With several copies, the nearest count.
Chain A
């Protein structure tokens, strides 16, 4: 297998490209996804290659174009609407939650709704409170949707290809900080990655660190730092929230006896709550200390860098939480 290094954005672009070529019913729509190639360059060149009928520049009408996409999905297309900043998904909630997610169920199975909502997440770019949010927990709370939160170019490409072949609505979250900054190996050969299979990004025996999307990277860096202290951390990336690979998480904690959950969504009533609850339940007899939850601080995301970085998990904060777990264990 030949492998190159691609950025996260290039991996996304390649998945879109391959699937546009494969499936004539697939089409992309969103703001400046066409001629401009997407504000994050994820659709670069696709307009030229597939034409304006398959890579469509929409007006600034998130509710409208997402609604249109739902109807197109119900009638045989596979639309891929792009929500430029995940923050704007608030404008399209009704279409995603009340229409796309429910149509199959409400019709007793008469329709399929193959639609892949691509949305961004992630702070750390001094973009302010309305351009930095991570709302993946909301959608994981909605039956009928699948939610994907990839952390590497490899995973992004393989999971997006799976999403683009799914007969169901998928909300696919891409951390915008990774687009240009995260590079990684991606094979030339075609591959897909199934939903619902967590990936062990690093094996370890003393503690389990669960992280997703961009948070996998500071978590791996923290594991590196911990290794120097002689602490062996296992890093697990669930990769999809719905379906969730509970088994892999629980097994790891049964082995290590402790866990820290790291997520860039808000901590309260967020992803860290679900994962902590799942682990606390499934590994109840094996936990030596409470599961630590390290989400984003529960404040609107501030613009000023010293404030903003305070709110986001990083290596240092992860290491601190690990120490807390290990101290708890020693009690």
Chain B
């Protein structure tokens, strides 16, 4: 089995680093804002937040071209922001408004921006995996070096569709990168209780594709590993699997404090490894951003989100006549 090199950190230019940081901030702020929106009763239903996990979606997506595609999960806001999605139509979608990405029809779990290569979050755990394989199939046919990324969780890996598509992706050398975001838990159960065997890299390798595990709270590590896999895929050498270890700070959804099945210590331990704080240190150390720049970016992002909430609240619900639109093309 061919091995990938062990995440030699690639050289990242200044602008890219700043944009990475910016998207991580947006992703964090988006989750915190949605939580607030939920508590105030400004959104219907529930939301699935991923604060704490920002390094994975941003690290992966920043390694992609605009025409590369991703499929996301029920916990998908970060992926969408990572790929360049805009928080305003996202927030409106969360609120079920006509100005939302999906005109309010999709909702929190189904945000998509197909023009940006975001083929949609998905409420079926593992549901994006087949779609990602299909996008990789199309990409191979197009022959333009485009790749496809499937994001999914440590729970989703046990869905048969991972295995079935892995087999085809290797057989047909599809430009597909499986990104397993191991945030340690499914809804309320630790992944170790549900995942047998030698680990996910071993599963990938048995299927004939290389795999790597990285510190999912280190955005540059995630970025570097993704780049290597992406380049491999663009060269026509087929799929690979990236396993990122990370943690969600909150509960499974906004109604779950997340403290019943996880200890305070575990949560604190992970918070001490916060991906944004860590990256800030790197940025300051390397002279990419000053503490003042960082503060300014924080406050810009906050203002942007406040405005997104305001705009979302003021936006109309879709007209009832829209209910029968878009069933068929």
A residues near B (Cβ < 8 Å) are: 31-32, 35-36, 39, 53, 57-77, 79, 87-88, 91, 94-95, 98-99, 103-114, 125-131, 143-144, 146, 167-168, 297-300, 302-307, 310-311
Judged by a CB distance under 8 angstroms, whether B141 is at the interface is: yes
Would B323 and A299 count as touching, CB distance under 8 A? Answer: yes
Would A300 and B327 count as touching, CB distance under 8 A? Answer: yes
Would B186 and A32 count as touching, CB distance under 8 A? Answer: yes
Judged by a CB distance under 8 angstroms, whether B221 is at the interface is: no
- Chain A residue with the shortest CB-CB distance to B123: A130
What are 27 A-B interface contacts by the 8 Å CB criterion? A36-B260, A57-B189, A59-B168, A60-B156, A62-B159, A64-B133, A70-B131, A71-B136, A71-B148, A72-B135, A72-B138, A75-B69, A88-B124, A99-B130, A109-B103, A114-B329, A126-B45, A127-B123, A130-B122, A130-B127, A146-B328, A168-B328, A298-B327, A299-B323, A303-B102, A304-B317, A307-B322
Would B194 and A59 count as touching, CB distance under 8 A? Answer: yes
A130 nearest CB across to chain B (Å): 4
- Annotate B121-150 by CB proximity to A: 1 below 8 A, 0 otherwise: 011111101111111111101000000100
Residues of A within 8 A of B109 (CB): 127-128, 130-131
Docked CA distance A65–B113 (Å): 24
Would B323 and A99 count as touching, CB distance under 8 A? Answer: no
Residues of A within 8 A of B317 (CB): 304-307
Would A126 and B164 count as touching, CB distance under 8 A? Answer: no
Residues of B within 8 A of A64 (CB): 130, 133, 158, 160-161, 163-165, 167-168
- With a 10 A CB-CB cut-off, give which of A58, A106, A146 has the most chain B CB atoms: A106
Docked CA distance A240–B148 (Å): 36
Residues of A within 8 A of B132 (CB): 71
B314 nearest CB across to chain A (Å): 15
Judged by a CB distance under 8 angstroms, whether B324 is at the interface is: yes
Would B318 and A307 count as touching, CB distance under 8 A? Answer: yes
Residues of A within 8 A of B96 (CB): 126, 303-307
Would A77 and B137 count as touching, CB distance under 8 A? Answer: yes
Would B104 and A302 count as touching, CB distance under 8 A? Answer: yes
B57 nearest CB across to chain A (Å): 19
Residues of B within 8 A of A103 (CB): 120
- Chain B residue with the shortest CB-CB distance to A75: B138
Docked CA distance A87–B74 (Å): 14
A239 nearest CB across to chain B (Å): 17
With A71-B119, A74-B134 in contact, do A39 and B124 touch (Cβ < 8 Å)? Answer: no
Residues of A within 8 A of B155 (CB): 59-60
Would A69 and B45 count as touching, CB distance under 8 A? Answer: no
Q: Give the contacting residue for B323; candidates A62, A76, A128, A302; CB below 8 A.
A: A302
B289 nearest CB across to chain A (Å): 35
Q: Give the contacting residue for A67; candidates B107, B125, B133, B167; CB below 8 A.
A: B133
With A57-B189, A99-B124, A128-B110 in contact, do A63 and B131 touch (Cβ < 8 Å)? Answer: no
Judged by a CB distance under 8 angstroms, whether B320 is at the interface is: yes
Residues of B within 8 A of A71 (CB): 71, 119, 130-138, 148
- Annotate B110-121 by CB proximity to A: 1 below 8 A, 0 otherwise: 101111000110
| Additional 9 contacts, C-beta under 8 A, given A75-B135, A311-B323 | A58-B194, A60-B156, A60-B159, A61-B160, A65-B164, A91-B159, A99-B122, A106-B110, A128-B106
Judged by a CB distance under 8 angstroms, whether B97 is at the interface is: yes
Residues of B within 8 A of A70 (CB): 130-131, 134
With A72-B138, A110-B114, A310-B320 in contact, do A39 and B187 touch (Cβ < 8 Å)? Answer: yes
Residues of B within 8 A of A94 (CB): 124, 127
- With a 10 A CB-CB cut-off, give which of A98, A131, A298, A307 has the most chain B CB atoms: A307
Docked CA distance A310–B96 (Å): 14
Docked CA distance A312–B30 (Å): 31
Residues of B within 8 A of A146 (CB): 328
Docked CA distance A74–B113 (Å): 12
B32 nearest CB across to chain A (Å): 21
With A59-B171, A64-B165 in contact, do A127 and B45 touch (Cβ < 8 Å)? Answer: yes
Residues of A within 8 A of B123 (CB): 87, 98, 127-131
- Chain A residue with the shortest CB-CB distance to B169: A68
Judged by a CB distance under 8 angstroms, whether B101 is at the interface is: yes
A112 nearest CB across to chain B (Å): 5
A297 nearest CB across to chain B (Å): 7
With A107-B120, A125-B45 in contact, do A60 and B168 touch (Cβ < 8 Å)? Answer: no
Closest 5 CB pairs of A and B: A67-B130, A71-B134, A64-B164, A303-B107, A126-B45
Docked CA distance A105–B107 (Å): 11
With A106-B110, A107-B114 in contact, do A168 and B329 touch (Cβ < 8 Å)? Answer: yes
- Chain A residue with the shortest CB-CB distance to B107: A303
Residues of A within 8 A of B3 (CB): none
Judged by a CB distance under 8 angstroms, whether B286 is at the interface is: no
Judged by a CB distance under 8 angstroms, whether B193 is at the interface is: yes
Would A68 and B130 count as touching, CB distance under 8 A? Answer: yes
A293 nearest CB across to chain B (Å): 17
With A72-B134, A107-B106 in contact, do A65 and B168 touch (Cβ < 8 Å)? Answer: yes
B317 nearest CB across to chain A (Å): 5
Residues of B within 8 A of A77 (CB): 134, 137-138, 141
B195 nearest CB across to chain A (Å): 7
- Annotate B289-329 by CB proximity to A: 1 below 8 A, 0 otherwise: 00000000000000000000000000001101011111111
B208 nearest CB across to chain A (Å): 13
Would A36 and B168 count as touching, CB distance under 8 A? Answer: no
B294 nearest CB across to chain A (Å): 35
- Chain A residue with the shortest CB-CB distance to B117: A75
Residues of B within 8 A of A76 (CB): 138
